[in-house]
Amino acid sequence: MQDRLQFYIDGRWVDPVEAQPFEVIDPATEQPIARIALGGEKDVDLAVTAAHEAFGAYAETTRETRIALLEAIAAAYQERYDELAQTISREMGAPLWLARAAQAAAGLGHLTQAIEVLRSYPFEEVRGTSLIRHEPIGVCGFITPWNWPVNQIMCKVAPALAAGCTMVLKPTEVAPLNALLLAEIFDTAGVPAGVFNLVNGDGPTVGQAIASHPKVDMVSFTGSTRAGIEVARAAAPTVKRVTQELGGKSPNIILEDADFEAVIAGGVMGCAMNSGQSCNAPTRMIVPAARHDEVVAIAKATAEQITVGDPGAEGSRLGPVVSEAQWDKIQGLIQKGIDEGASLVTGGPGRPEGLEHGYYVKPTVFANVRNDMTIAREEIFGPVLSILPYDDEDEAVAIANDTEYGLAGYVSSGNLEHARQVARRIRAGQISINGATQDFAAPFGGYKHSGNGREWGVYGFEEFLETKSVMGWES
């Protein structure tokens, strides 16, 4: 078991002001694999002070200097790519193939995108007689989760560095080891002292201290809607900018003219991917009522072919969920689905057969789900799919939009224009047509209780900029 009890502040590894050891648990074995320290307000203040003092000089660096820095980070990242993937897999349970192909890859994708945006972004332009200037917002506080940890760190850190901001990161205490590796990568790449700082801790202590700190100019949070509300409350007295990427309950509308064999199977796999621990997972499959039984048969066959097992084992498609608390929550919601009268097609409560230890969940499919059932309303964050029938297209769209969330949506049709028409009607921040994959240049973020602000690409970059007008620039 490794000890990682220090924080990264002002370009150095430092001891906490008051050490509070905390064990990091391997969700596949339920055994501790590392100890970190949980920090407090004094640690946050030291980190914010370092970021505040570094901001003036870093904000004045040239575009070319920041591009060179991001390129150095990308090179150092690639040197430790496999170590990052293995760390992610072990501490949060993603199968090693997924950690390599998607989890670690996403971090590099955001770095590459930040460099592309920075190369050509117009920081100044003249409109009429005024200069419109975009300047870095200042010290940024980042609070990130465990489900796609490097992705959600790098989609904040990379554009913030590109924009000229300094920052303090509080990664999740549940899966923090990847963030410590990233701090080492930034240090190797030559990120100036004070520009990037890391303090481990929990949300109510370190997260709250970051959100409420008067010298933090902007806070970007990814996590549950409940926690996001608390971050916004803490930030409100200092009138700082707050961006939030929160929960989701994303609809997956299957239109009558879709290729059912392909899109139903794809929808099941999309819901189960990463053990269902994705805020944009297509968890509500909305299907023509007349073909409900056909859909159920395809979904059942697909789910029952998914191999659940050790994240490091060849052939494991799904690993465990991240923690005992998550496992218990998912089990409770599966039972709720049964109790409220949804038809359990496959899966259900308990661990998969042959897995006595680890936080493993059976890939579960419910049919004949109504949109007022708990499993159709609440974010389960596990490999649990709800199939909801509709009678006509208007009802399908109404079901899709009848949710407090609005992060993502999915539409499948054999006719692209038909899919486009339905996609326009879904009230969510990112819609995928016919299984389109993620685009790092496209904005990511939600409507309603799924948050505010956008990440990724130029839209994410602009969250880290203030806009100034200088009137009388032209006579």
Compute the distance between CA of residue 207 and CA of residue 202 in angstroms, rounded to an integer. 6
Q: Which of 155, 165, 271, 279 is catalytic?
A: 279
Compute the distance between CA of residue 172 and CA of residue 179 in angstroms, rounded to an integer. 9
Residue 276 CA to its chain's centroid (Å): 12
Residue 246, SS3?
A: coil
Compute the distance between CA of residue 125 and CA of residue 339 in angstroms, rounded to an integer. 60
Of residues 461, 459, 464, the one with CA closest to residue 429: 459
Q: Which of 91, 165, 173, 245 is catalytic?
A: 245
Written as one string, the DSSP assignment of 90-158 is: HHH---HHHIIIIIHHHHHHHHHHHHHHHHH--SEEEETTEEEEEEE--EEEEE--SSSHHHHHHHHHH
Compute the distance between CA of residue 324 and CA of residue 326 in angstroms, rounded to an integer. 5
Q: Is 38 left (phi over 0), alpha (psi -120 to 50) or beta?
A: beta
What DSSP character marks residue 378? S
Strands 241-245 and 166-170: unpaired
Strand partners, 452: 244
Written as one string, the DSSP assignment of 57-76 is: HHHTS-HHHHHHHHHHHHHH
The residue type at 26: D
Compute the distance between CA of residue 310 and CA of residue 27 in angstroms, rounded to an integer. 10
Compute the distance between CA of residue 109 and CA of residue 440 in angstroms, rounded to an integer. 7
Compute the distance between CA of residue 210 and CA of residue 221 in angstroms, rounded to an integer. 11
Active site residue 279: yes
Which positions are catalytic?
A: 245, 279
